[in-house]
Amino acid sequence: MSAPRTRAVYLDHAATTSMRPAALAALTAGLARTGNPSSLHTAGRAARRTVEEAREQVAASLGARPSEVVWTAGGTEADNLAVKGLFWARRTQDPSRRRVVVSAVEHHAVLDPAFWLAEHAGAELALLPVDGEGRVDLDALRAELEEHGDAVALVSVMWANNEVGTLQPLEQVVGLAHRYGVPVHADAVQAVGQVPVDLRASGVDALTVSGHKVGGPGATGALLARRGLDLTPVLHGGGQERGVRSGTLDPALLAAFAAAVDEAVTTREDHAARVGALRDDLVRRVLAAVPGATLRGPADASHRLPGNAHLTFAGCEGDSLLYLLDAAGVEASTGSACQAGVPRPSHVLLAMGVGEDDARGALRFSFGATSTADDVDAVVDVLPGAVERARAAGLSMAVGA
């Protein structure tokens, strides 16, 4: 393998990406000001104005009304508010609405609260299967609704998968669910800034967005919930956000978040074309250079996020590849950063029908604003040697066992 590089090649933008200059400027300017948005004095009113201007900006960027933007501390909280809040609100209105329907490839921020509701709150959980490219099985959703439609509290299907990049058929999901009066939530954390995301045009009832995925600060996010959608609060306290989400709001963080969302949406087409070309080049060259490499997710690039390349390498452990690449100055991931270091294969790949051995040899390369053609060259330069070493190490362990 080549010697370590002086500049790290960062291809893990799906985990988090660098802050945009506009967001950084908004954050640093806001940090110099004092004021609680809930206070009635001059400083408090100025802080409230910053919060509401940010709300208007996010709403305009994502096809929502300002009143439909509920601030949260990130994507995880927004997903929890959607899943738990919708379930409890719907169950209060109609005790027979006990079923929670989610796809088998959701982020754990959706799956875990759904499982929690089944274990602790009397919910009945239905996991929708996916095909070999990670796309939800619409026939299975149709059958679920035909049999249990009157008992379904909500459906949650992500806009785009965080591991393999699959874009889900949300229009059809919404069409099926709404026939039975069932609201649909979509985790759009990975989608904003890469593909068009519009609350009103999509027909979804609630969607999740996260700041640090689009070039904003961490600990910021929002749940966009259409007008009239009832949500039971998950957090209780001061009654902020119309009583849906209590907690003191940080004007500086929200201004930076809004600036990042605005720029991500405004520059989306150029960004998607640029990172998509880099991704396609990487996939083509890796498949040619590394025997046993397999692209996971949709083969048709138009059906996946432009910045996502997810591959498995037969005979390798993903963690071994990750460390070997890191030592050579290339930073990628084995899948969701939230599950990094957990020694088990991806639930997403398993749901797609990938065998456990193959699923363990996964790497995700995700591109962002700082990605260049040189980054692709660097990966192609070091990856074949890393795969060879990882396979040799795995073979030695198997022989020793």
Name residues whose C-beta falls within 8 Å of residue 112's C-beta, 6 or more positions apart in sequence. Answer: none
Residue 168 is given by DSSP the state P
* Active-site choice (121, 338, 350, 380): 338
Q: Which residues pair with 313 in a beta bridge?
A: 293
Name 178's Cβ contacts closer than 8 Å, sequence gap at least 6. Answer: 184, 203
Q: Cα-flanking dihedrals φ and ψ of residue 305, to 5°?
A: -60, 140
CA distance 66 to 54: 9
Per the annotation, the verdict on 316 as an active-site residue is no
Yes or no: say if 209 and 185 are a contact pair by the CB < 8 Å rule: no
Distance CA(292)–CA(284), nearest Å, equals 14
Which residues are catalytic, by number?
338
